[in-house]
Amino acid sequence: MMADFAAGKAARRVPVFAAVCAFALNCALNGAAQTPAPQNPSQNPNQTGSRPVYSGSASPEAQPAPTLTITTREVLLDVVVTDENHRPVTGLKASDFTITEEGQPQTIRRMEEHSALSGVDVTKLKAAPPLPANTFTNFTPVANSNAYTVILLDALNTPVSSQMYLRQQLIDYLKHDMQPGTPIAIFQLDVGMKLIQGFSTDPQVLLAAAESKRNMPSLQRPVHGNYDYYVRSRTQILGEGMGSIGRYLAGFPGRKNLIWFTGSLPSWLNGSPTVEDVERRVGNPFRDDFMVYDDMMNGLTDALSLSRVAVYPVDARGLQTPPMFDASRRRPMSNSGFYTAQAFNHMNLDEIADATGGKAYYNTNGLKQTLAEIVDNGSSYYTLDYATTNRKWDGKFRHIKIALNRSGLKLQYRPGYYAVDRTRMEERQVASMERRMARGQKPNLAPPNEAPQNPTLDENGAMVKAPKQGFDAVMELGAVPPTEIVFTASVAINGNVVKLKKDDPLPKDNFLTKEYKGKPFRNFDLAIHADPRSLNAPLSADGRRHGKLQFVTVLYTPEGETVNSITTEIDFDLGDAGYRKLLTNGLPVKQQIAVPVKGNYFLRVGVNDLSSGHMGAVEIPVDQVHADVMPAALASR
């Protein structure tokens, strides 16, 4: 269905949480990739089809003066300190902490204390101004960015009865206990990951989402087949879902607390990422995001992200007693077998929590109280910053230990990071990109809805729809919108109604399906403006920065059927002056897509950085585009 923009996409990656390099994450603290940059950079007028080469300047650039570059790699650690009553401890100083990395003492360069904000505190914060009419974005900032809370309702791995009780507890918390101003997002995982409600600080908005049909308990069995296939499929769905949450959180700086309400997790093999796994990472390690690997189907607990996301797994089944019969295995279960299974499941939850600086909760029916405790404690923490003294970047895991000069206190923090060689990683990115450019790869402009070349067959031999991966999955209607690349999309309606004759060509670069070709339509103009700070432009051996971007707009029916699509690809070729201009002025791209006059439709706009694999997407209901509004970004068309 999405074949028109599938060409040139980044290599398929199995989306499981993975360990990340933690150096220089202070860029994320400073709000990288939040605010779209100013408009109107110049472009090279020599364009071929829909693939212009962006040079940043039409005139030759002067040779830059030699510069001396010194790289300092910093490690950021969020540390939650609690007392014997599980309450946050405040007022500590940097001198109270001692940090060692592989046994070697490290010097704390900076320390910041963060505390949960009261309703009065939040009212004093300056909210972001609203976007102009007909302007949409995949990133909505909230005034309180001290800490973000993500609630994940895992219907894939939780019995229906427990789902119903959890839903009641969540609604009760939002009605009576949530403090206004606390940024919360709600996700649900069943046959796939769904965003129930994006970040909001309004309890009423979150309550309406929790009480809606989007958050109803899932009665659908996600996978059919033998037990081994069922477990492996659950693991893959879980990994892909976690990856989509990671892409959603990428644009939000600071600490994120992921409260994962789940039941019995699928079994997987143990194993840690190798050096080669880590070095295959495609992307910018300075970004506050998650990583995924090609061959990491197993070892989810060992591959949790270390990028300022603390995971708090909560056993949504509450306090359990041994059953008389194990329905999954169709045989009686002994008490010892039940307690053994419970012990291993809780060990998995503990491992997930410990790997990211969170805490696991189980054997409690007070899910509402647990939620309140995590939100409170996760918003009160210390951020410690040190420049590592170890200059060897071999991709190995480095263990970190933090101690306090006070006894009786509990510390939560991530236990280490992978020492990825960024230089080697960028060299591989550049080499791969240059090979693609040398081959002159062009986008695959096949019409949408084309039948797959290699259809997937189920166990009965019937053709089934193969799950989409990468950018194809991101561009599906209703998919979780990633914020790895933050952008705005300005939309204006061309008032003229057009109806093509039988032999008339389609609008330029459009792929209007046959069903709609003979129906009247209007052209919608779009100006897509990507934040340049979230783009990847690695420096190559020739002293220039190369990159490649896809800008895609797809028109859907409410049922998810493709009506039209348009793709624009841009190649980077920048010297120092051009790169500085890009960072200053940004990179707008204009498109025009035909939208039928009659019917209800959705525009899905996406940006795909082919050099890093980072993505961004936003969904726009066509009925929210006002016909009489002309955004400034399109006023000069």
pLDDT digits (tens, 9 = 90+) for 458-481: 444 444 445 567 899 899 999 999
pLDDT digits (tens, 9 = 90+) for 115-144: 888 777 777 777 778 889 999 999 988 888
Which of 342-346, 413-417, 487-491 shows the lowest mean pLDDT across its residues? 342-346
Looking at the structure, tell me whether residues 149 and 240 fall in a common domain.
Answer: yes
**pLDDT for residue 304:** 40
Looking at the structure, tell me whether residues 235 and 379 fall in a common domain.
Answer: yes
Residue 33 pLDDT class (50, 70, 90 cuts): very low
CATH code (residue 329)? 3.40.50.410
Looking at the structure, tell me whether residues 327 and 178 fall in a common domain.
Answer: yes
**pLDDT for residue 38:** 32
**pLDDT for residue 128:** 76
Residue 14 pLDDT class (50, 70, 90 cuts): very low
What is the C-alpha separation between 573 and 575, in angstroms, rounded?
7
What is the C-alpha separation between 149 and 185, in angstroms, rounded?
6
**pLDDT for residue 257:** 93
Of 522, 587, 579, the C-alpha closest to 551 is 587
Looking at the structure, tell me whether residues 189 and 286 fall in a common domain.
Answer: yes
Which of 171-175, 276-280, 562-566 shows the lowest mean pLDDT across its residues? 276-280
Task: Give yes or no for a contact between 204 and 171, defined as CB atoms under 8 angstroms apart.
Answer: no
More confident residue, 541 or 217: 541
What is the C-alpha separation between 403 and 414, in angstroms, rounded?
13
The one-letter code for the residue type at 122 is: V
Q: Stretch 610-626: mean pLDDT, rounded? A: 91
Of 342, 246, 326, 358, the C-alpha closest to 18 is 246
Looking at the structure, tell me whether residues 393 and 484 fall in a common domain.
Answer: no
Per the domain annotation, does 449 fall within a domain?
no
Per the domain annotation, does 162 fall within a domain?
yes
User: Which of 404, 420, 436 corresponds to the end of one domain?
Assistant: 420
User: Which of 420, 453, 483 corresponds to the end of one domain?
Assistant: 420
SS3 (DSSP) at 578: helix
What is the C-alpha separation between 440 and 510, in angstroms, rounded?
22
What is the C-alpha separation between 578 and 543, in angstroms, rounded?
12
What is the C-alpha separation between 544 and 536, in angstroms, rounded?
13
Exposure class string for 543-568: b at 16+ Cβ within 10 A, else e: ebbbbbbbbbbbbbeeeeebbbbbbb
Which structural domain, as residue segments, surrounds residue 614? 471-637
Looking at the structure, tell me whether residues 414 and 475 fall in a common domain.
Answer: no
Strand order in the sheet with 53-54: 53-54, 562-574, 545-556, 602-609, 615-621
Task: Give yes or no for a contact between 419 and 398, defined as CB atoms under 8 angstroms apart.
Answer: yes
Looking at the structure, tell me whether residues 265 and 362 fall in a common domain.
Answer: yes
Q: Cα–Cα distances in Å, from 22 out to 77, 306, 387, 471?
A: 9, 7, 11, 25
Per the domain annotation, does 227 fall within a domain?
yes
Looking at the structure, tell me whether residues 567 and 503 fall in a common domain.
Answer: yes
| 301 phi, psi to nearest 5 deg | -65, -30
Looking at the structure, tell me whether residues 247 and 326 fall in a common domain.
Answer: yes
**pLDDT for residue 586:** 81
**457 pLDDT above the threshold of 50:** no
pLDDT digits (tens, 9 = 90+) for 186-205: 999 988 899 999 999 889 99
Looking at the structure, tell me whether residues 490 and 611 fall in a common domain.
Answer: yes
Q: Stretch 605-632: mean pLDDT, rounded? A: 92
Mean pLDDT score of the chain, rounded to an integer?
Answer: 75
What is the C-alpha separation between 315 and 260, in angstroms, rounded?
8
Per the domain annotation, does 399 fall within a domain?
yes
What is the signed CA dihedral for 136, 138, 143, 144, rounded to 10 degrees?
160
Residue 338 pLDDT class (50, 70, 90 cuts): low
What is the signed CA dihedral for 36, 37, 40, 46, rounded to 10 degrees?
-90
Percent of the chain scored above 70 by pLDDT?
68
Per the domain annotation, does 572 fall within a domain?
yes
Task: Give yes or no for a contact between 306 and 258, defined as CB atoms under 8 angstroms apart.
Answer: no
Per the domain annotation, does 562 fall within a domain?
yes
Tokens 């998650």 belong to residue: 290
Which of 8-22, 79-93, 251-265, 485-499 shows the lowest mean pLDDT across its residues? 8-22
Q: What angle do CA 542, 546, 552 make, to 5 degrees?
A: 170
Instruction: Kindly tell me the sign of the dihedral angle through the C-alpha atoms of 40, 46, 51, 53.
Output: negative
User: Which of 385, 403, 420 corresponds to the end of one domain?
Assistant: 420
Please state the separation of Cα 405 from the chain's center in Å: 37
**347 pLDDT above the threshold of 90:** no
Per the domain annotation, does 84 fall within a domain?
no
Beta carbons within 10 angstroms of residue 280's beta carbon = 18
* Count of structural domains, the chain: 2
Per the domain annotation, does 425 fall within a domain?
no
Looking at the structure, tell me whether residues 386 and 520 fall in a common domain.
Answer: no
The two most distant CA atoms of the chain are separated, in Å, by: 82
pLDDT digits (tens, 9 = 90+) for 492-517: 998 789 888 888 888 888 888 888 88
Task: Give yes or no for a contact between 229 and 297, defined as CB atoms under 8 angstroms apart.
Answer: no
The one-letter code for the residue type at 193 is: M
Looking at the structure, tell me whether residues 494 and 410 fall in a common domain.
Answer: no
